[in-house]
């Protein structure tokens, strides 16, 4: 197969679904880690095509959703400064902090700009030497390479007015936290294909073995997702605890080694808070001491931050596969994409946004 349309062929997808129906004998709970996969599943109705024995639950792989509230509030404080041009991917602008978002900072006169790459932010810094330019460097392993590249480039070019506000998180520690929780329901995982394209999947076999949970590296088109579910279901039914690659056209076991080396040069592992979930030890990346000059948190003293999360929001439970968006009393009423109470209603990868966009207002 060469073309994306073939991965959206309804007949081929139906064939894989029929095979899942044929082999399944009991109830299984499978988590898709990535919010991009959640959107594809809901958009194409894949969960509704599956036999009732397979329940899909949605994972924490939505970078915008898990960026801690404290850091969003820090971003808002930094972006409000008159000497700062604050740059970010577009998704972050509508994410609610404790009372406002980056859009409202822009509306009150803050210089907040959307960029498609952090390298554009470095260019903005070069063009505006009298301003401090900050890039909101959030995300999982997928966005780490361009973010570290921007820091390396700024260092190489001597761009001293560029810094990054880092909130990088990593998938394996989050899976460890989910699987190690007494309330865990997840029995199999669809791994995020784009994360594995960068990192490979060599980190996952020890996790699979430790918790007795099979996993499949999975892509993003309907056929990829159906294939990933079939791979995990087959392993569950056969009692095999393996990590299999259902996305071989993009992912190799080792991943992109030069990218991994570059990440390792600039970032080191650190503890990270996940919005709605809490602190997970060694679950993130932060700048190494030799790149501390590019750390926006050190460059700007924003005083003490008092956070204020909506008491109605159950996004943390949704991100751990313990609840679905329509279990939230605010879903579609007090909380909508126009007036979001939580980040999962804003992000293009958020489960609440997917359920809202594709009309999943009722419990299926």
Binding site for ligand SF4 (CB under 6 A): 310, 312-315, 318, 325, 328, 330-331, 335, 340-342, 344-345, 352
Tell me whether residue 17 or residue 328 sits nearer to ligand SF4 (CB atom): 328
User: Residue 109 region, left (φ>0) first, then alpha (ψ -120 to 50), else beta?
Assistant: left
Tell me whether residue 178 or residue 208 sits nearer to ligand SF4 (CB atom): 178
CB of 42 to ligand SF4, least distance (A): 14
Task: State which residue has the least CB distance to ligand SF4.
Answer: 342
Q: What is the DSSP letter of 116?
A: S
CB of 28 to ligand SF4, least distance (A): 25
CB of 333 to ligand SF4, least distance (A): 9
Q: For the chain, what is the radius of gyration of the CA atoms?
A: 21
Tell me whether residue 245 or residue 320 sits nearer to ligand SF4 (CB atom): 320
What's the length of the chain? 364
CB of 135 to ligand SF4, least distance (A): 25
Following CA atoms 324, 330, 331, 334 in sequence, which dihedral angle do they give, to the nearest 10 degrees? -160
* Helix axis angle, 10-23 to 222-238, nearest 10°: 10
Cβ atoms 215, 191 nearer than 8 A: yes
CB of 59 to ligand SF4, least distance (A): 15
Tell me whether residue 49 or residue 314 sits nearer to ligand SF4 (CB atom): 314
Tell me whether residue 232 or residue 352 sits nearer to ligand SF4 (CB atom): 352
CB of 180 to ligand SF4, least distance (A): 23
CB atoms within 10 A of CB 24: 19
CA distance 276 to 281: 15
Tell me whether residue 51 or residue 332 sits nearer to ligand SF4 (CB atom): 332
Beta strands in 174-324 (DSSP E): 188-192, 215-218, 243-245, 267-274, 278-287
What residues pair up with 86 in beta bridges, in sequence order?
A: 112, 134
């Amino acid at each position: 197969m060469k073309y994306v349309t073939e991965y959206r062929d309804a007949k081929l997808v139906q064939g894989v679904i029929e095979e899942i129906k044929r082999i399944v004998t009991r109830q299984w709970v499978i988590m898709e880690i990535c919010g991009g996969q959640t959107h594809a599943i809901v958009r194409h109705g894949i969960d509704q095509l599956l036999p009732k024995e397979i329940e899909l639950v949605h994972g924490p792989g939505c970078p915008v959703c898990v960026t801690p509230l404290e850091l969003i509030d820090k971003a808002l404080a930094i972006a409000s400064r008159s000497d700062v041009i604050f740059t970010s991917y577009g998704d972050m602008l509508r994410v609610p902090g404790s009372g406002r978002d980056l859009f409202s900072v822009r509306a009150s006169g803050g210089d907040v700009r959307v960029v498609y790459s952090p390298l554009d932010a470095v260019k903005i810094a070069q063009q505006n030497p009298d301003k401090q330019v900050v890039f909101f460097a959030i995300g999982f392993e997928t966005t780490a390479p361009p973010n570290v590249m921007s820091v390396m480039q700024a260092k190489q070019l001597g761009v001293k007015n560029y810094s990054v506000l880092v909130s990088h998180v990593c998938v394996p520690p989050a899976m460890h936290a989910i699987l190690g929780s007494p309330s865990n329901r997840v029995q199999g995982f669809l791994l995020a294909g784009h994360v594995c394209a960068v990192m490979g999947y060599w980190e996952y076999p020890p996790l699979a073995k430790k918790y007795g949970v099979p996993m499949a590296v999975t892509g993003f088109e309907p056929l990829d997702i159906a294939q990933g579910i079939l791979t995990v279901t087959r392993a569950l039914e056969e009692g095999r605890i393996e990590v299999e690659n259902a996305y071989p056209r993009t992912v190799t076991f080792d991943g992109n080694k030069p990218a991994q080396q570059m990440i390792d040069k600039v970032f080191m592992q650190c503890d990270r808070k996940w919005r709605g979930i809490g602190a997970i030890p060694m679950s993130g990346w932060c700048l190494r001491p030799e790149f501390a000059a590019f750390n926006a948190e050190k460059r700007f003293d924003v005083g003490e931050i008092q956070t204020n999360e909506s008491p109605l929001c159950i996004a943390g439970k949704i991100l751990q596969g313990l609840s679905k968006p329509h279990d939230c009393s605010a879903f579609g009423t007090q909380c909508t994409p126009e007036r979001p109470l939580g980040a999962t209603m804003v992000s293009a990868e958020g489960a609440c946004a997917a359920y809202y966009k594709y009309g999943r207002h009722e419990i299926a």
